A and B are shown apart, each in its own frame.
Chain A
Amino acid sequence: MRSISAETIAKAVAEAVIQVNTHLPGDIQAALERALSIETNPAARCSLQILAENACIAAEDKVPLCQDTGMIITHVELGQDVRVCGGLLEEAINQGVRDGSRRGHLRQSIVKDPFLRINTGDNSPAVIHIRLVPGDCLRIMLMAKGAGSENMGQLTMLKPAAGIEGVKQFVLKVVREAGGNPCPPIIVGVGVGGNMEKAALMAKEALLRPVGEPNRRPELAQLETEMLTAINGLKIGVQGLGGDTTALAVHIETFPTHIASLPVAVNLGCHCTRRTTIEL
């Protein structure tokens, strides 16, 4: 049994919270550069150039990439041979969120209650998903998710007869309705199968995959490519002002489902989908 202290976890989370908010992930930076190299719309080109400069300025000025420093979401993979000592795992993560938000001068974006709407003042709590895995490591995939893109997500329970075509039409509908709001060029996370909450969780997990890394199953990788072409055909474009690139990638995740069900969830990530991985 390996011991990892709650303090170590809190420190690592605090660092990660600051890091993701000031440094654009390399895969997204590369994807934005590719988008600029093929873009023909002048307004979109101008926005993409500003975004490239924004990433440099954020790192240089130690200022967040976006003022919406997001809600912190953690996907935790806890090795079965790990014991968290000196505190509770979830409390350690929330302590890290509080410390990182204070030290990184992040915006206070979380309210205590959805109806009363009083700010917690420290960006806690995070949304925490925990999965037990073999081994003695602790892996935390951490995302700072802004509401502009999160608010544009949708879920539907299709009839199995709707099939692949039904899934495609739903994803296109979600992206079309979102328009310029989720800060395109977006990453489109799609969860198909399982049940209601499993589909939603997979749609979020799909955003953690590096941009452009295809699904391991060739037929799903093919579907991702087809969907990306169809989405870019909508010509919503960077910031919704028109142009060639509406999405940088479509990532689809699937899971076994009920004979009567075809759940589909779509979670959109903005052009600044901030995530990082902590390994302890």
Chain B
Amino acid sequence: MKTIQAPLSKEDVMGLTVGETVLVNGTVYTARDAAHQRMAAAIEAGDKLPFDPQGQVIYYTGPSPAPPGRVIGSAGPTTSGRMDIYAPLLIERGLRVMIGKGERNQAVKDAMCKHGAVYLATVGGAGAYLARRIIAATVAAYPELGPEAVYRLEVRDFPCIVAIDARGNDIYER
């Protein structure tokens, strides 16, 4: 099984092919609906983003709170399609990898092909299992959003499948 280390270069993601299973290591940022809305507004207003997307990985998740003694609570993927409206803005700014579940629209795929990005799917509803692959979690931005805040996570051997590669090949197309 292939292992990838975040952050990633364009060459790194061009080497990934649809259907391939990969283990993700390194730093990933969480963001879902509300955080994407804020980041899109920041881009619109010409403000600074909470992190530079260049080479980074965004994981679409809103984790449950960490029980005492744990790094994080349950942390599986949310439905990626809700972020389709915002994703091209971040891909244009160098975002290399998105992790989530379910289909993406054509605009996202076009941006991925143009700028070199991949979309990885992980197992929806396996939040307890995936939490064990997260070894550190800190709030990176928008703490007032609670579960929708941006977290900086350190992941180890986080299991994913390449769902859409940087050439636009899509596992969901049947």
Residues of B near A29 (CB, < 8 A) are: none
Most buried by A among B76, B103, B126, B163: B126
CB–CB B127/A67 < 8 A: yes
Docked pose: A216 CA to B19 CA in angstroms: 42
Docked pose: A151 CA to B82 CA in angstroms: 11
A–B Cβ pairs within 8 angstroms, 11 of them: A54-B123, A54-B128, A54-B129, A63-B74, A66-B76, A179-B102, A180-B101, A181-B79, A181-B102, A183-B125, A241-B171
State which residues 115-152 of A face B: CB under 8 Å: 117, 119, 121, 146-148, 151
Known: A54-B129, A183-B125. A240 touches B146 (CB 8 A): no
List the 4 closest pairs (A to B, CB-CB), nearest first: A58-B128, A107-B64, A54-B129, A64-B74
Chain B 53-66 against A: per-residue CB contact (8 Å), 1 yes, 0 no?
Answer: 00000000111111
Considering only CB atoms, which chain A residue lies closest to B64 in the complex? A107
B-binding residues in A (CB < 8 A):
43, 46-47, 50-51, 53-54, 57-58, 61-69, 105-109, 117, 119, 121, 146-148, 151, 179-181, 183, 235-236, 239-242, 270-272
Residues of B near A181 (CB, < 8 A) are: 79, 81, 101-103
Docked pose: A46 CA to B20 CA in angstroms: 13
CB–CB A50/B129 < 8 A: yes
Residues of A near B19 (CB, < 8 A) are: 43
Docked pose: A279 CA to B172 CA in angstroms: 43
Residues of B near A65 (CB, < 8 A) are: 74, 125, 127-128
CB–CB A107/B174 < 8 A: no
Known: A47-B123, A62-B67. A242 touches B174 (CB 8 A): yes
Min Cβ gap A97→B in Å is: 15
Docked pose: A225 CA to B75 CA in angstroms: 35
CB–CB A58/B147 < 8 A: no
Other-chain contact of A239, B63, B73, B121 (Cβ < 8 Å): B121
State which residues 158-174 of B face A: CB under 8 Å: 159, 161, 163, 171-172, 174
Residues of A near B123 (CB, < 8 A) are: 47, 50-51, 54, 239
Docked pose: A67 CA to B74 CA in angstroms: 5
Most buried by A among B65, B73, B125, B129: B125
Docked pose: A272 CA to B127 CA in angstroms: 11
Is the C-beta of B132 less than 8 angstroms from some C-beta in chain A? Answer: yes
Query: Contacts A64-B73, A181-B102 given; 13 further ones with Cβ under 8 A?
Result: A43-B19, A58-B74, A61-B128, A61-B131, A67-B74, A107-B65, A148-B79, A180-B121, A181-B81, A181-B101, A239-B121, A241-B172, A270-B124
State which residues 18-53 of B face A: CB under 8 Å: 19, 21, 34
CB–CB B147/A108 < 8 A: yes
Residues of A near B131 (CB, < 8 A) are: 57, 61, 63
CB–CB A53/B129 < 8 A: yes
Is the C-beta of B93 less than 8 angstroms from some C-beta in chain A? Answer: no
Residues of B near A236 (CB, < 8 A) are: 174
Residues of B near A235 (CB, < 8 A) are: 174
